[in-house]
Amino acid sequence: MTDERSFETATAVYRAELLVHCYRMLGSTTDAEDVLQEVYLRAWKAFHSFEGRSSVRTWMYRIATNTCLTALEGRSRRPLPTGLGTDASDPRVPVVADEERLWLQPLPDVAVADPSDAVVARENVGLAMIAAMQDMPPRQRAVLILRDVLAFSASETADLLDMSVAGVNSALARARRTMGDGTRRDGRRADQLTDREQAVFAEFCRAFEDHDVDGLVGVLAGDAVWEMPPFPGWYRGAAAIGELTTHQCPANQPGDLRMIPTVCNGLPAAGMYMRDGEVWKPFQIDVVSIVDDEVTHVAAFFGAELFQLAQLPAVLDAAASVAD
């Protein structure tokens, strides 16, 4: 019992930041939570042999990083549709889901439950950055995260990954080139939105609830991008997104959709609920980038498990109030 208490005291403080680390590595919140359980199991089994040659934090990052690398063996990357190298799609062509591919997932901020780690957890988890990391081989991704995000030294990173310092420096240079090649710019963080940006986000949500396609188009940048895994198509331009909403969205009238604001990857987001009889059920989570008072990018993610991770209601009824 003493060992269990000692282990919990020594390692529990790192759980939130290690969850984010696993998410950066894997591109999936659900996978990150599963792998984190394996990380703590491995750490518990090895705790009796921990000799304190490094800090507990560094030791835990070694276990977490290598557990992630093992989990990534033989797996394809998790892209967004814009990362597939295809041209923008025709919004009038019926969408067809690709359920075989592993897709990038968002990270709901509330999934990182420990407020003491809020600052650490929220740094460098923008959706654009996570998507760009998916273009790197896993070990190169690990080097970039350890060096540029977590500020481990080259020698510490080499030790964590059983690499040479020269190998770490070479991998880091390649990773930085990848990150610099046209990585999309995320919008302002949700907790830093100006009054005008908050109004833009509110109008975005209202437009869907009121089935107001013109209102939606009005808050979009002219070259805005919309993507929605597991559908592999993506759409560029306010007019095209308006057509997509008109022809492909299953909502037909005001009240068919309800929007509950939340935060994912530090960005403003909303859980979209679709009417089903007298209730509204989870449909998709929209993660929104707002730049220069316009919506420049929307990534819409499907899956009831994401609503659970975001601690959003499993169902809404007529009496449920919509958050401001």
In the prediction, which pLDDT does 209 show? 97
Contact 87, 235 (CB under 8 A): no
Contact 105, 28 (CB under 8 A): yes
In the prediction, which pLDDT does 7 show? 86
- pLDDT per residue of the chain (324 residues) written in tens, 0 to 9: 557 788 888 898 999 999 999 999 999 999 999 999 999 999 998 887 887 777 899 999 999 999 999 999 988 889 999 999 999 999 999 999 999 999 999 999 998 865 454 444 455 788 999 999 988 999 999 999 999 999 999 999 999 999 999 999 999 999 998 887 667 778 999 999 999 999 999 999 999 999 999 999 999 999 999 999 999 999 999 999 999 999 999 999 999 999 999 999 999 999 999 999 999 999 999 999 999 999 999 999 999 999 999 999 999 987 765 443
What 198-201 contacts at long range (C-beta under 8 Å, 24+ apart), as own/partner pairs, is 200/290, 200/293, 200/294, 200/295, 201/261, 201/268, 201/288, 201/290, 201/295
Q: Name the packing angle between helices 56-72 and 2-11 (round to 10°).
A: 80
**Full DSSP string of 140-181:** HHHHHIIIIIS---HHHHHHHHT--HHHHHHHHHHHHHHHHT
Dist. CA 287–CA 20, nearest whole Å: 18
Dist. CA 189–CA 176, nearest whole Å: 23
Establish how many alpha carbons lie within 13 A of residue 239's alpha carbon, considering only the half-sphere containing its beta carbon.
1
Dist. CA 189–CA 177, nearest whole Å: 25
Contact 80, 229 (CB under 8 A): yes
Domains and CATH numbers, the chain: 2-180 (1.20.140.160), 190-317 (3.10.450.50)
